[in-house]
Structure 1
Amino acid sequence: MGSEIAELKTQIAELGKQLSSVQDQLSKVKSQEDVRKLQYTYGYYLDKCLYREVADLFADHPDTCVEFLGGRYNGKEGVKRLYIGRFAKTFVKGRNGPVHGFLLDHPQIQGIVDINDDGSRAKGRFRSMMSAGTHESIKDTHPRGLVQWWEGGVYENEYIKQDGVWKIFRLRYFPFWHGTFEKGWSHTPPNYIPFMSKTYPEDPAGPNELCENPMLWPDTRVVPFHYAHPITGKQVAEGDLRAPQYGEDPSTSTPALVLSKAKSEQ
């Protein structure tokens, strides 16, 4: 009888371990889905120039940032300066919401999300294929005139859980390429979208700092992956992240891109 009770206790203990493991896995899966939903929500708000709503998705943390076109906007104030300041003033004359005849669609696709061991941080890689432009009916009233273009880019983001809610922590958007609708990406003019060149406060809507080695088409370097290869467990080699001229050695090319780190990780 005593041995049967001992065996039963062992089985119960093992079931408890299995249940705990399943709960941990379910919690991680839920967090992954919550982060994807957060990023998709960002895209929907951005589509309609709802820049206040976009800014409210970011964490109130000193290491929060947005990296865009070679500039880094730091902290929640930097985030607001980019979206509510620069973008709103440029595209919709300072309002929160769309203006008639102006298109900016930012679908968020191919999301790969990884949660850290304690469930407090996450990293995610997403792709965006943007269509943008103005309708001919507003060509004389909108500052962009009559224009239509394509854009493709990759996000390598970090997220943080604050008070039980997932928020965007460090958003890094790398617009890979732009192309006019009429001629396509093979004929994109140099500096079609200029990199950030002045910082805040010299530029009232500028970034806090400039990033090293910014990238635009026809530069085709690889944005580093936050995750290792799922089979080999290895990261992509540094030389393979570069994009040399056809037939040339990678050492002759622009240095590989490096993802910035929060100050607490440096």
Structure 2
Amino acid sequence: MDADIAELKKEVSLLRKELSRVSDEAEVRKVHFKYGYYLDKCLYNEVVDMYADHPDAYVEFLGSRYCGKLGIKRLYNGRFQNSFVKGRNGPVRGFLLDHIMMQDIVDVDQTGTHAWCRMRALMQAGTHKSVRDTHPRGHVQWWEGGLYENEYLKENGVWKLFRYRYFPFWHAEHETGWSLTRENYVPWPTKTYPEDPWGPDEIIDQKMLWPDTRVVPFHYPHPVTGKRINDDDLRAPNYGQETSEAEPPLSLALPEGQERKGGGKTWSNEGSVRVLPELVENP
């Protein structure tokens, strides 16, 4: 009887852990979807409030990094809010900025306080012809495809956005499609804050726009082999050319001074077993 009770307690404990993991994964997914809905309608105050207060929080976007809550606020309440809606918190008539979020893969670490998510975004954006003379972008419409490789942090029991890495992958105008998209469709930031009042804290070597087709690294190992993809396989040389001639692989590496602590899952690469860094940042 005692052995049976001990076994039941063990099973209950395992079920609780599994239920907690599944619940956390669902909550992280909801957090990002909610972020997307706020972003659609230029509710930038609400977007900024979703970010963790942890000093290591940041956003990587278009070859630049916005660090900490102040840097993140500068991106959303500065660059985006002033460019799209002239400082207003909320939409303006005739401006479309819909983000369709899909293909989400969420992984929560063993502590239940840190998570990763890879997700695809398909954006429909532009202006209605009726506002061509009043909106600074005139009359324009375009598509955008991009990938997120994000991290989330549970602060005081609440899941929040932590490290957001968004790679806009391709753009296409309706009239010409993606094959005729001009290169450097969105100009890269070249000045940092405070020289640029809405600029990033750092310029980083993570620039990728169509026709560049490098792979955004995966936060997870292969689900069957447990291996990581070789860096050279993440590069995109011209057809028939050597990989060594291509742009270097993209990276999910942390900024200098930040680290992930602890050990967790193991994965094998070329026959060896290595420790996959715990998906947790100890505040």
Provide the TM-score with structure 1 as the length reference: 0.96
Structure 2 counterpart of 1:51, from 40, 44, 51? 44
The question of 1:222 aligning with 2:215 is answered yes
* Structure 1 residue ranges without an equivalent (≥5): 1-7
Q: Distance in 1 between matches of 2:2 and 2:239?
A: 66
Larger Rg: 1
The question of 1:168 aligning with 2:172 is answered no
User: Conserved in 2, the CA contact under 8 Å of 1:107 and 1:128?
Assistant: yes
| Deviation at residue 138 of structure 1 after TM alignment | 0.3
Structure 1 counterpart of 2:175, from 174, 182, 200? 182
More helix by proportion, 1 or 2?
Answer: 1
The question of 1:65 aligning with 2:55 is answered no
Q: Return 244-253 or 217-226, whichever deviates more.
A: 244-253
Q: Distance in 1 between matches of 2:104 and 2:185?
A: 28
Q: Distance in 2 between matches of 1:112 and 1:213?
A: 22
Q: Distance in 2 between matches of 1:91 and 1:178?
A: 18
Q: Secondary structure at the match of 1:125?
A: strand
| Deviation at residue 144 of structure 1 after TM alignment | 0.4
What corresponds to 1:233 in structure 2?
A: 226
* Structure 2 residue ranges without an equivalent (≥5): 261-283
| Deviation at residue 264 of structure 1 after TM alignment | 3.2
What corresponds to 2:259 in structure 1?
A: 265
The question of 1:118 aligning with 2:111 is answered yes
User: Conserved in 2, the CA contact under 8 Å of 1:125 and 1:154?
Assistant: yes
Q: Distance in 2 between matches of 1:213 and 1:9?
A: 59
Structure 1 counterpart of 2:203, from 194, 199, 210? 210
User: Conserved in 2, the CA contact under 8 Å of 1:134 and 1:145?
Assistant: yes
CA RMSD of aligned residues (A): 0.9
The question of 1:20 aligning with 2:13 is answered yes
User: Conserved in 1, the CA contact under 8 Å of 2:97 and 2:126?
Assistant: yes
| Deviation at residue 248 of structure 1 after TM alignment | 1.2
What corresponds to 2:85 in structure 1?
A: 92
What corresponds to 1:192 in structure 2?
A: 185
What corresponds to 2:249 in structure 1?
A: 256
Q: Distance in 2 between matches of 1:65 and 1:140?
A: 36
**Offset from partner CA, 1:188-229 (integer Å, 9 cap, x none):** 112211111110000000000011141100000000000011
What corresponds to 2:29 in structure 1?
A: 36
Q: Secondary structure at the match of 1:187?
A: coil
What corresponds to 1:149 in structure 2?
A: 142
Q: Distance in 1 between matches of 2:251 and 2:184?
A: 22
User: Conserved in 1, the CA contact under 8 Å of 2:183 and 2:209?
Assistant: no
> How many residues are paired up?
259
Please tell me the residue identity of whatever aligns with 2:147.
V
Provide the TM-score with structure 2 as the length reference: 0.90
| Deviation at residue 160 of structure 1 after TM alignment | 0.4
Q: Which runs of 4+ in 1 moved over 4 A?
A: none
Q: Secondary structure at the match of 2:258?
A: helix
Please tell me the residue identity of whatever aligns with 1:169.
F
Q: Secondary structure at the match of 2:179?
A: helix
Q: Distance in 2 between matches of 1:221 and 1:162?
A: 34
Q: Distance in 2 between matches of 1:203 and 1:181?
A: 32
**Offset from partner CA, 1:144-198 (integer Å, 9 cap, x none):** 0110001000000000000000000000000001111110110011221111111
